[in-house]
Structures are given as structure tokens and as C-alpha cells.
A = this chain, B = another copy of it.
Amino acid sequence: MTASRTDRVPLRNIKVNDRFWKRYADLVRETVIPYQWEALNDRIPGATPSYALHNFRLAAKQTEGEYRGHFFMDSDLAKWLEASSHSLATHPDPVLESHVEETVDLILKSQWEDGYVNTYFTMKEPAKRWTNLLDYHELYTAGHLFEAAVAYYEATGKRAFLDAMRKFADHIDSIFGTEPGKTKGYCGHQEIELALIKLYETTGDEKYARLSSMFIEQRGREPNFFIEEWEKREQSALWGRGTSRKPVLHYQQSHLPVREQKVAVGHAVRAVYMYAAMADLARLGEDESLSEACRTLWDNITTKQMYITGGIGSTHHGEAFTINFDLPNDTAYAETCASIGLIFFAERMLRLEARSEYANVMEKALYNVVLGSMSLDGMHYFYVNPLEVWPEACRHNPGKHHVKTERQKWFGCACCPPNVARLLSSLGQYIYSVNNRILYTHLYIGSETTISVEDEPVVIKQQSGLPWNGSVSLQVQIAEPKRFTLALRIPDWCFGKASFMLNGQSFEHEGSMTNGYMLVEREWADGDILEADFAMEPVWMLAHPNIRADSGKVALQRGPLVYCLEEADNGPALCSISVSPDRPLQARFEDDFLGGAVVITAEGRKDDAADWSGPEAYLPARKMSRPFTLRAVPYFLWGNRGAGEMTVWIRGE
């Protein structure tokens, strides 16, 4: 295992001050994190209780009672703790700090002598530890605790929690491995693999990277661990209480050794969490065959199994991938967590190799699915992110029951809201990466960041008009002039139309483009300003002809934002609207629309049910459309005006 070639910028070195993102940063800090604390304490009236803190208080022997909720509830608290730690890294807050300390204290008090932490097993099945890795998420919740401990350590500098979690990791390392007497097992829900890499990168202890690698490399080998484990449990899911179906290995990506997996299958979140860890290991091990496996899976997802919004996992049955090009819009699952996992995967791929396709997808999933999953008040969430909604059908057709038409207060399985919080509170870390002497800019988010380039601190003050316009500028602040390369991603959505200025002088960029980045290598001096203007025109997009659900339809995109039609603007039966992609589009910023947004109007046509000449369901074809001005709004803002129809894909004429 070689040393990490790229390092994440510590959060304390990043100040996000972007006009657009400030609203979300404030929301996460002032509303989302405090609201989720209430939710985790079961204090939100009318919301499904979490029981996460209740269970930790039991395990820490602070109260008495029954374990409640799903067996993986510890992970929700861990994700909240991670998000809160990220927040504290840049914004000290005594109240939040006290909640964080209380939580850490509970975790430490619930820890077993040997390092083990898991409130479900502690309270319900203490004798059954590590006997059902397939179903019971023990290593998964451990992974989230490790990520929380790393974030807490980075924010506070305090070691106790990190040390406790190292003890837990050491305990896991004593149980799992290829050495005689150890179990060659791995978790039914991947997560610990990427968490162990963070533990390694924070502590420098290679044992954790080796353990992560073991989990990844053993996965899917014959004889299959999950089948053997299931046989050992006498084919039961619940330790002898009735038999269970033979494990479906695709579901948790254990049907083949990971290097032989060419197509993304099974539960989407499990998949992308695993691929993220694979990309970490490929980078750390300079492992070309593992890198190639990652690229193959990335390509499969992003060119054949991803919605235009960056949503992945098209079926709610198993929250899973189905097959190439099977992307139905109205029964879509596209779980929020899956797109967050895709962002994790993208960020690791960028650390492995800077290619703009990774950042393009990262940006798409971030601006559309992740932002869209949360209401403007920060207190309501989508778990499922459909591209077409007909509220009445969602209520009455059981095949669409998973599609909610309004964001929910909380969920019985509440993985998504704290996942959004931890991503948004660490968003600054996704803007840049440094690879040798090249400082890559992946996301355009106004910020002030201190980055180490060849051990030299460089401050980049970024200003960005995204997502409403494509003007960005990067000002370099540096003690002494220094030769290095500043690289700007050319976003896919500008379709190559970009112009650049260096200290006010425009320059041609031919010859300095590499893998989708404009590379400017020079001796950078304090105060140098690199500006870019990326064309941001509204564009009608087509889907690949094999994507059956989108055939004959077009979707509107402007910059990183995908647009949609809503009933609130266009009336019901949105399917009646059609557009001709060669008609002009008008984009206009409306200050008073949901906090300010660019809205797009276009001349289209609409079939009018009033023109239907009788009660018949079917009549001979005739022209029955009339001119109609449609109004499209950013997809991430949908559903903030009550329940109504919504569609991303619009019939083309």
C-alpha cells in the first residue's frame, strides 16, 4: 500500500461563501442539523420515530426499556454526528457541540470491553454478534461510526472517540481476515470499506486499508461467504426462527469477485458505496486492474443506468439497478442516498484520475437529486426522486406507492436526510483536488480555500454565478510566486462554449485541454485572477434511443440544472404538452420564485381534453392540440408548492 497520492483539503481550510450555496449551508447548520437532532430524539410531532438516541441511551445504561426501530438505526445517529462535526469544523456552536458531546459520550458508554459497538445486538442479541453479516448491517453501522469519529477528530482535535473507534476497528480486524482462525467474511451492506480508508488516511495505520482491501477482495469469491453463513444459520434469516430464502447474491454485489463485475447490479446504495471504496483502493494500491473495474462500472452506470438528473437505481423492488436503459420515469426509485453514493464514487474517481466526466456527474447528482430531495425549509425530504409524478396514481396505484408527491417529515428508514446533511456540510471538500502539481477545480462554488500545493499553501478565492450563470473567477493568493498548474473543469453543459481571461486578458485555450480540464501552467503570483465564462443556454436534451421510457421525448437543461414542468404552472395532464425542440426558449431569473431562480418558457402545444368530442376513451387520430406557452422550473425546486403533477420528459413534436 503506497501513501495516498492526493489528499482532501481539510474542512477547516475551506470557507464556502457562495451566494447560491449559502442558503443551503445556513439551512443545514441552522435547521437541518437541529431538526434532525429532534427527529433522532423522537420529538417531531407526527413524524415516524427514529429511536436512534433512545437505543443508545439503553445501551449506555442511562435508561431502561426495549430496543425499538430498525436494527441499523445506529447509523442514522452516526451520519448526523458526522454532519454535525463537519459543521463544527467551520462554525463553532456551543449548543450543537453539547449535543455532539452527549452523543459521543453515549457511544463510548455503549462500547463493549472488546471495542464492539452496536445497540441492536447489545440490547437484543448479544450472543449473536457477527453471525448474520448478510442481513444485520453490523459492519455497516461500524463504518458510519468510523466516518463520524474521523469527522469529529478533524473538527475538534479530540482523540477519545477516534481511539475508541480504532479499538472497535482493531476488534473487527481480529475477527475478519484471511489468516487462519479469522472469518473471510464481509458485510451485506457495504460501507465499512470506504470508512476504513478514511480511518487509514487519518491515522496512517495501514492495517485499516488492508482490512478494507480484504473485505473488497473476498467479496463474491467461491465458496460464497453469504451462502456458507446462511447454511451455518440453518438457512434462517433470524437465527433459527423459520427458514429464509437463499441469499440473492446480486443484491449485495457478492455474485462475482469485484474485479469481474462489469455491470452495476443490485441495491444501488450498496453498489456505489462499494465502488467508492474500490476507487480508493485502486488509487492507494496503484492497482490498474481495480482501476479498470471501477471505470467499467462507472461507465455502465453513467451511460446506461442513470437518469438525466443523476438519479440511479430505477426500481423500488430492492432499491436496485435493473438492466441497461430501463429507466422508467413514473415508477423511478432514484433514492437520494444512491445519488449521494454516486457522488462519493465520483469524488474517489477524481482522486484516482482527474477526468471531467466524474465531476460532471457529481455536479448533476448534487444540483438535481441531492438538492431536490430537501424542501426549501430543510425539514421535509424525498427518499425517492421520480422524474414524473401523477399524484392521484401515486395514491391509488400500488405500483407507484413508493413515489411521494410531497416531501416527508421523516422516514422509518431515515437513511437519506442525515446523508444529505453530511454531504452538504462537507461540500467544500468536493470543489478541488490536488494531484502532484496540478490543482484541479471540479465544482464552481464561491469559496475561500487554503490548499497545499507541493507543501506550499495556496489560497484560492473562487466566485461563481452557478447555477444561474456560467461566470467564474479564481483569484490566487500566495506568499511567493510559484509554478504550478491551475485546472478548470469545462462543464459538459456548456458544450465546449467557454472563454477564459487571465488577469483581464482573454486567451485561447487550445492545446491546454486535458481530460475535460483547461490546464493553465505558469508561475502564479499573488493576486492573479483566472476567469472563465461557460455558456449557459437552455438546451433540449434527448435520451439514448434504447431508453424506452424517454422515446420521443425531450428534457430541458440549462447549466447543471435539469428542468421540469409542474401542474402549478402548466395545469394538469402534463403529458398533453408537446414541444418542438427547434423553437426558441426564454430563460429569465425571477427574484420572487421560491427564493429566486431562472425559469424557462417556451412555445409548445397542448392537447386539450375539452377538444375531445365525446365520452370515448379512444377515437380516430386527429389534430387536437393548440398553442401553449409552457413554463419550466428547476427540477430541484419541484414539489414546493403543494402536490401536483410533475414531469421532466416532455413529448417532442
A window 588-616: CB within 8 A of B: 607-609, 612, 615-616
- Known contacts A552-B575, A651-B551; decide if A617 and B302 are in contact (CB<8 Å): yes
Residues of B within 8 A of A252 (CB): none
- Interface: A331 (CB within 8 A): yes
With a cutoff of 8 Å between Cβ atoms, the chain B residues found around residue A390 in the complex are 326, 548
Question: CA of A58 to CA of B308 in the docked complex: distance in angstroms?
Answer: 60
With a cutoff of 8 Å between Cβ atoms, the chain B residues found around residue A231 in the complex are none
B residues near A617, Cβ cutoff 8 Å: 302-304, 306, 308, 543-544, 547
- Can you name 27 A-B pairs with beta carbons within 8 Å? A303-B617, A304-B617, A306-B617, A308-B618, A314-B397, A315-B397, A315-B399, A316-B399, A317-B399, A322-B393, A331-B331, A331-B399, A399-B399, A539-B620, A539-B621, A541-B619, A541-B620, A542-B622, A544-B612, A545-B573, A545-B609, A547-B617, A551-B573, A551-B607, A552-B575, A552-B651, A581-B621
A312 to chain B, nearest CB (A): 11
A576 at the interface (CB under 8 A from B): yes
Verify A326–B397 contact, CB threshold 8 A.
Answer: yes
Name A577's closest neighbour in chain B (CB-CB). Answer: B551
The yes or no answer to A392 lying at the interface (CB within 8 A) is yes
A326 partner, pick from B304, B396, B495, B551, beta carbons under 8 A: B396
A616: chain B residues at CB < 8 Å are: 303, 544
Point out the residues of chain B lying under 8 angstroms from A575, CB to CB.
545, 548, 551-552
CA gap between A622 and B495 in the complex, in Å: 14
Give, as a whole number of angstroms, the nearest-CB distance from A609 to chain B: 5
Chain B contacts of A546 at CB under 8 A? 573, 609
Contact B619 A322 (CB under 8 A): no
Determine whether the beta carbon of A397 is less than 8 Å from that of B322: yes
Which residues of A (273-327) have their CB < 8 Å from a CB of B?
299, 302-304, 306, 308, 314-318, 322-323, 326
CB of A257 within 8 A of chain B? no
Q: Judging by beta carbons under 8 Å apart, are A543 and B393 in contact?
A: no
Within the complex, the shortest CB–CB distance from A177 to chain B, in Å, comes to 35
Determine if A441 is an interface residue (Cβ-Cβ < 8 Å): no
Asked whether A555 is an interface residue with its Cβ less than 8 Å from the other chain, the reply is yes
Flag if A398 contacts B317 (CB, 8 Å).
yes
Could you tell me if A323 and B621 are in contact, using CB atoms closer than 8 angstroms?
no
Is A540 in the interface zone, CB < 8 Å from B?
yes
Query: Which residue of the partner chain, among B399, B495, B545, B573, contacts A612 with CB atoms under 8 Å?
Result: B545
Q: B541–A618 contact, CB under 8 A? A: yes
B-side contacts of A330, CB under 8 Å: 328, 548
Q: Which residue of B lies closest to A537 (CB)?
A: B620
Check if B323 sits within 8 Å of A620, measured CB to CB.
no
Tell me the smallest distance from the CB of A297 to a CB of chain B, in Å.
14
Which residues in B have their C-beta under 8 angstroms from that of A115? none
- The verdict on A467 contacting chain B, using a C-beta distance below 8 Å, is no
A554 to B621, CA, bound (A): 7
A359 to chain B, nearest CB (A): 15
A36 on interface, CB distance cutoff 8 Å: no
Residue of B nearest to A333 (CB): B399
Most chain B C-beta atoms within 10 Å of own C-beta, residue among A392, A547, A576, A620:
A620
CA gap between A314 and B304 in the complex, in Å:
29
Does A425 lie at the interface of the complex (its beta carbon under 8 Å from any beta carbon of B)?
no
B315, B392, B399: the one contacting A323 at CB < 8 Å is: B392
A652 interface hit (Cβ, 8 Å): yes
Verify if A373 is at the interface (C-beta below 8 Å from B): no
B interface footprint on A397-436 (CB within 8 Å = 1, 0 otherwise): 1110000000000000000000000000000000000000
Given A330-B548, A541-B618, A541-B621, 12 new contacts (CB under 8 A)? A303-B615, A304-B617, A317-B398, A323-B392, A323-B396, A326-B392, A328-B330, A331-B399, A542-B622, A546-B573, A552-B578, A552-B651
What is the chain B residue whose CB lies nearest that of A552?
B651
Residues of A within 8 A of B (CB): 299, 302-304, 306, 308, 314-318, 322-323, 326, 328, 330-331, 390, 392-393, 396-399, 495, 539-548, 551-552, 554-555, 573, 575-576, 578, 581, 607-609, 612, 615-622, 624, 651-652
| A621 adjacent to B544 (CB under 8 Å) | no
| Residues in chain B near residue A317, CB distance under 8 A | 397-399
Give Cα A399 to B313, complex, Å: 13
Q: Is the CB of B555 within 8 A of A618?
A: yes
A321 to B308, CA, bound (A): 32
| B620 & A398 in contact (Cβ 8 Å cutoff) | no
Minimum Cβ distance to chain B for residue A262 (Å): 15
Complex CA distance for A385 and B613, rounded to whole angstroms: 29
With A399-B315, A544-B618, A621-B652 as given contacts, are A551 and B576 in contact (CB-CB < 8 Å)? Answer: yes
The CB with the most chain B CB atoms within 10 A, among A540, A575, A617, A619, is that of A617
Q: CB-nearest residue of chain B relative to A614? A: B303
Cβ–Cβ < 8 Å partners of A615 in chain B: 299, 303
A607: which B residues are within 8 A, CB to CB?
545, 551
> Which residues of B have CB within 8 Å of A315?
397-399
CB contacts (< 8 Å) of A573 on chain B: these are 545-546, 548, 551
A119 to chain B, nearest CB (A): 29
Assembly CA distance A304 to B614 (angstroms) = 12
| A331 to B299 CA separation, bound complex (whole angstroms) | 28
Partner of A542, one of B318, B392, B621: B621
Beta-carbon nearest neighbor of A579 in chain B:
B621
Residues on the B chain within 8 Å of A555, using CB: 618
The answer, among B331, B396, B540, for a CB contact under 8 Å with A621, is: B540
Using A299-B615, A551-B575, A575-B548 as known contacts, say yes or no to A397 and B609 having CB atoms under 8 A apart: no
A544 CB contacts on chain B under 8 angstroms: 609, 612, 616-619
Q: Which of A306, A541, A621 has the largest number of chain B CB atoms within 10 A? A: A621
